[in-house]
Amino acid sequence: METVLAILVGSLVAATVFLMLSRNIVKFLFGLVLLGNAANLLIFAAGRLTYARPGLIPDGAAAPLGDVANALPQAMVLTAIVIGFGLTAFAFALVYRAYQELGTTDTDEMRVAEPPLDASQLDTPAQDRRAA
């Protein structure tokens, strides 16, 4: 069962990397969201998977009966989801403000704090950039 999740997490990470390498900062943010999901699944699966048996203790018992899902990674993932939400919300606000200030969502053009880019450092000809 962990094998399937391993493949799924790998796919999510691949999508993340591809999105983050985009010049559009919004796509970068999408990548960030996917990466959060991938990381949560990874932690979750690292604690091994138990199908349909949540970590609950029935009334009258002092401990769960039989094998139940590993509660420790669940607690961690729960925390991670909330913190990831805070991070993503903040990142979106930053991008929004950056767009307001700089008028662009192209990371290559966000160079207020950087020296001007040499022509040789660009992957694409300047004309192409203007067209975009």
Partner 1 sequence: MTIVSIERPDLVASPHSRLTSRFAGWVGFFLAAGLTAFFASKVPVVAAGETLRWTVDWVPTLGYQLSFYVDGLSLLFALLISGIGAFIFLYTPVYLSAYRHASRLVVVLILFMISMLGLVMADDMIALFVFWELTTITSYILIGFDHDNAKARRCALQALLVTGAGGLVMLAGFVLLGSAAGTFQLSELKAQGFHLAEHAAYLPILILILIGAFTKSAQIPFHFWLPNAMAAPTPISAYLHSATMVKGGVYLMARMHPVLGGTPEWAWILTIIGAATAVVASVLALRQTDLKLALAYTTVMALGTLTMFLGAEAGVAIAAAVTFLLVHALYKCALFLVVGIIDHGTGTRDAPRLGGLARAMPITTAAAAAAALSMAGFPPFLGFIGKELKYEGALAIASEPGLAITAAVAANAMMVAVAAIVGLRPFFARPVATPKVPHEAPFRMWIGPVTLAALGLFFGLVPPLVANGLVQPAVASVLGAPQVVKLALWHGINLPLLLSVVTLLLGVLVYVRHLQIRDSLAAFEARLPTDTDRVYDLSIDALKDLAAWQTRLIQSGVLRRYLFVVFAVVVLAVGGTLLMKDGLRLPQAWPDVPLPVWGMTALVLAGAVLTVLAKSRLLAICALGSVGFGVALIFLMYGAPDVAMTQLLVEILFVIIIAIVLLRLPRFGKRTAGLGASRWQDGVLAVGTGLVTTALMLAATRGPIDREITAYFEANSATEAYGRNIVNVILVDFRALDTLGEILVVAVAAFAVVGLVKLRQRRWRAS
Judged by CB under 8 A, the chain residues 27 through 86 that form the site for partner 1 are 27-30, 33-34, 37-38, 40-42, 44-59, 61-64, 68-72, 74-75, 77-79, 81-86
Q: How far is the CB of 126 from partner 1 (least distance, A)?
A: 14
- How far apart are the C-alpha atoms of 120 and 98, rounded to whole Å? 26
Site size for partner 1 (CB under 8 A): 102
Q: How far is the CB of 117 from partner 1 (least distance, A)?
A: 7
Site string for partner 1, 80-119 (x = CB under 8 A): -xxxxxxxxxx-xxxxxx-xxx---xxxx-xx-xxx-xx-
Q: How far is the CB of 61 from partner 1 (least distance, A)?
A: 7
Structure tokens at 30: 């999408």
Q: How far is the CB of 119 from partner 1 (least distance, A)?
A: 13
- 87 to 81, 83, 95: CA distances (angstroms): 10, 6, 12
From the list 100, 99, 80, 102, the residue with the least C-alpha distance to 29 is 99
> N- to C-terminal Cα distance for the chain?
45
Give, as ranges, the residues between 2 and 21 that touch partner 1 (CB under 8 A).
2-21
Backbone angles phi, psi at 111, to 5 degrees: -125, 35
